[in-house]
Amino acid sequence: MYLTQEEEKLLAGESGTGSQLAMELLIDLGEFFEADRLIPVTSAHISGVSYLTGGDGLIDQLGLFIEHKAKVSIFSTLNPSGMDRKNYKDQYIDLEFATKQFQILQYFNDLGVSLTCSCTPYDFGHLLTKGEHVAWAESSAVTFANSFFGARTNKEDSLSVLSAAITGRTPYYGYHLTENRIPNVEVSVEADILEYTDYSMLGEITGKAFRNKPFPFGAIPVFKWINKPRPQEMKALGASLASFGTHIFHIENVTPEQELIPQAQIEDTLIVTADMLKETYEHFAPPDDVNIAVIGCPNANLEEIIQTAGLVKGKKLREGKEFWLFTNAAQKALASSSGYLKALEDVGVKIFVDTCPEVMPYDKTRFEKILTNSVKAQHYISAPSLNGLPTYVMSVANCVDAMFEEEIIEDE
Amino acid sequence: MSNTIYTGKALRSSGRHEVVGEAIVTKNPITLLGFVNPKTGEITEEKHDLNGKIITNKIFVFPRGIGSTVGPYVLINLVKNEKAPLVIINMQSDQGTVSGCSVAKIPMAYGFEVDPTEIIKNGDQVKVIIENGVSTIQILGE
């Protein structure tokens, strides 16, 4: 692999052992993917923050970088941690977990990473331009960066993204090259895809259909016949697809790289029917009563918060039920200044920031199963080595109906 | 014992290793985060053909990793807990497995002309030599 003089110096350790470690990793990756060189990247979004997912290995690894005086060299935001930094007790998280989590966050702070702690950095100003080369981890954010912005990032992992953030470089392969962004499967959508969870289900159906195809960079669907989605609906679609190894998609007349659609090399097709959508909803429907609903995977934006506030208006939580909404600090501040936060809190909704429904540890004495509006959350909450709790999916309106009842105001 | 030696690539940072061990093989992708238990080395994915099997101190042969970008920390935690495989051999592999092996210093081989998940059977004794970014594998017997 060709290295510039400056990169050779980094590899030789002239800027410290931290950036040398980072360069070694990038070269391993570059050789593996047969990249001919590294390219500069303008921003990083870093995953691997929660103590639940990273464990003590994460603490050790960050500690090693800090010991070697590594610092990030480009604008870098951070994925959700395992808890709300202020309100973790409301998540029933104990001090032992919190202590480990604070240590991880301190380390990231020492590395020079902004402690934004959200999977939706684009909702608070980490925006990208079409064609911009970046290094993002967090599979749903990667898919959003490629598909919504038309920016170029591979699905960096938690270590490669840290290496990219430190050196400002990433191997030039995969989605950085136009040829690997061209659609290879076509998805015609006959079913009515109308809201957030419909898009999440569409991602599940599509991802599953092509999951075993040997595409080098995953299935790259071009969706036809769907109405113009809102950004958060594209986020939901991408989050589901990403669980199946698809990190870029195109929608006819919507996404920014329309010029790639006529170049499509379609190797398989799928028609998503109303029956398929119905069956998928049935597959994920709760068989019986659940006492908690969690929404905000990926983290809810202001529009989703406002929608939820509308749904719970005039209702009260049923006895023994909880409703949690996960967002980031910026959206929460806006929800607060515009009055929606109070409306939600007044009816008992708990709003958490800095974390998400998947990377937090649930108190299993309280919660035996979980209800959510996101298929991605379903995949990961139910994963045995994470929380391993049976998880079910319904639209946010149905989640609200399951947890709330009408408040009966008696006349004097 | 087969005399055939298959040559492939290896991570440059893996250094030199000569390892003989028992193979554990699957043709299905491995989801590191969530379905490999870093405390026990056990695969815990219900519908996976290796569900319930232990990868610790084995020659772990699979096509590629899939799933979360936090997967590499599972490999680091496996090493920390002394539950890591001896060597990882992949067909296509993926970013997370490469990064995790690079940092966790789990020797990793890939890029063979033949599909290692085809030629190596579960329980085979396999010899793996890794040096300077090149790897060789030899199947010693069942």
What CATH number did the domain enclosing B121 receive?
3.50.30.10
Q: Which of B2, B14, B68, B135 is catalytic?
A: B68
Helix or strand or coil: residue A273? coil
DSSP per residue over A181-238, as a string?
GS--EEEEE-S---SHHHHHHHHHHHHHHHTTS--TT---EEEES-PPPPHHHHHHHH
Phi, psi for B66 (deg, rounded to 5): -135, 170
User: How much is the pLDDT for A411?
Assistant: 64
Identify which of A54, A214, A385 has the shortest CB distance to residue B35: A385
CB A11 within 8 A of CB A102: no
Query: What integer best gives the mean pLDDT of chain B?
Result: 91
Q: What is the pLDDT of residue B92?
A: 81
Tokens of B18: 């000569």
Q: Which residues pair with A323 in a beta bridge?
A: A293
The overall longest dimension of chain B from CA atoms, in Å, is 39
Please confirm, yes or no, whether B14 is among the known catalytic residues.
no
How many C-beta atoms lie closer than 10 Å to residue B17's C-beta?
A: 18
pLDDT at B142: 77
Of B9, B68, B77, the CB nearest to A57: B77
Indicate which of A32, A139, A155 best probes the interface with B, i.e. most B CBs within 10 Å of its own CB. A32
pLDDT band, very low/low/confident/very high, at B2 (cuts 50, 70, 90):
low
> To which residue do tokens 């996101």 refer?
A374
The region, left, alpha or beta by phi > 0 then psi within -120 to 50, assigned to residue A31 is alpha
Which DSSP letter does residue A155 get? B
Q: Going residue by residue through chain A, which has 412 residues, state the pLDDT in tens, using 9 for 90 and above.
A: 999 999 999 999 999 999 999 999 999 999 999 999 999 999 999 999 999 988 898 999 999 999 999 999 999 999 999 999 999 999 999 999 999 999 999 999 999 999 999 999 999 999 999 999 999 999 999 999 999 999 999 999 999 999 999 999 999 999 999 999 999 999 999 999 999 999 999 999 999 999 888 898 899 999 999 989 999 999 999 999 998 889 999 999 999 999 999 999 999 999 999 999 999 999 999 999 999 999 999 999 999 999 999 999 999 999 999 999 999 999 999 999 999 999 999 999 999 999 999 999 999 999 999 999 999 999 999 988 789 999 999 999 999 999 999 987 766 5
- Say how many CA atoms lie within 13 Å of A365 toward its Cβ: 3
Ordered DSSP codes for A316-372: EEPTT-EEEEEE-HHHHHHHHHTTHHHHHHHTT-EEE-SB-TTTSPP-TTT-S-EEE
Give the model confidence (pLDDT) of B24-65 as tens digits. Answer: 999 998 988 778 999 999 999 988 999 999 999 999 999 988
Who among A27, A60, A155 is closest to B95 (CB)?
A155
Evaluate whether A306 touches A396 at the Cβ level (below 8 Å): no
Say what the pLDDT of residue B35 is: 86
A384 touches chain B (CB under 8 A): yes
Closest CA in chain B for residue A173: B95
Cβ <8 Å between A385 and B92: no
Q: Please state, in angstroms and rounded to a whole number, the distance separating the CA atoms of residues A371 and A390.
A: 9
pLDDT tens for residues B104-131? 999 999 999 999 999 999 999 999 999 9
Q: ipTM of this complex > 0.90? A: no
CB of A48 within 8 Å of a chain B CB? The answer is yes
Domains present along chain A, CATH in parentheses: 5-176 (3.30.499.10), 180-281 (3.30.70), 284-406 (3.30.499.10)
Q: Give the burial class of A60: count Cβ atoms within 10 A of its Cβ; 0-12 exposed, 13-18 middle, 19 or more buried.
A: middle
Contacts of A25 in chain B (CB under 8 A): 13, 99, 102-103
Q: Which of A287, A187, A184, A292 has the alpha carbon at shortest distance from A240?
A: A187
**Cβ-contact A217, A246 below 8 angstroms:** no
Q: Give me the pLDDT at residue B122, please.
A: 95
Distance in Å, alpha carbon of B68 to nearest chain A alpha carbon:
7
Which ranges constitute the DSSP H helices of A33-157? 51-67, 95-111, 139-144
A159 with B102: Cβ contact below 8 A: yes
| Predicted confidence (pLDDT) at residue B8 exceeds the cutoff of 60 | yes
Q: Which residues in chain B have Cβ-Cβ distances shorter than 8 Å to A216?
A: 92
Count of domains in chain B? Answer: 1
Q: How far is A58 from chain B (nearest CA, A)?
A: 6
Residue B95: list chain A partners with CB under 8 A.
Answer: 29, 33, 154-157, 160
Per the CB < 8 A criterion, the answer to whether B128 and B19 are in contact is: yes
Q: In the prediction, which pLDDT does A212 show? A: 82
Question: Is A245 in Cβ contact with B69 (below 8 Å)?
Answer: no
Q: Are A44 and A95 in contact (CB under 8 A)?
A: no
Q: Which token pair is A310?
A: 């509308």
CA gap A79, A136 in Å, rounded: 10
Range of the domain at B13: 5-141
Beta bridge partners of B51: none
Q: Does A159 touch chain B (CB under 8 A)?
A: yes
Is the four-CA dihedral A57, A59, A61, A64 of positive or negative sign? negative
Interface mutation target, options A28, A212, A243, chain B, most CBs of B under 10 Å: A28
CB-CB neighbors (< 8 A) of B111 in chain A: 32
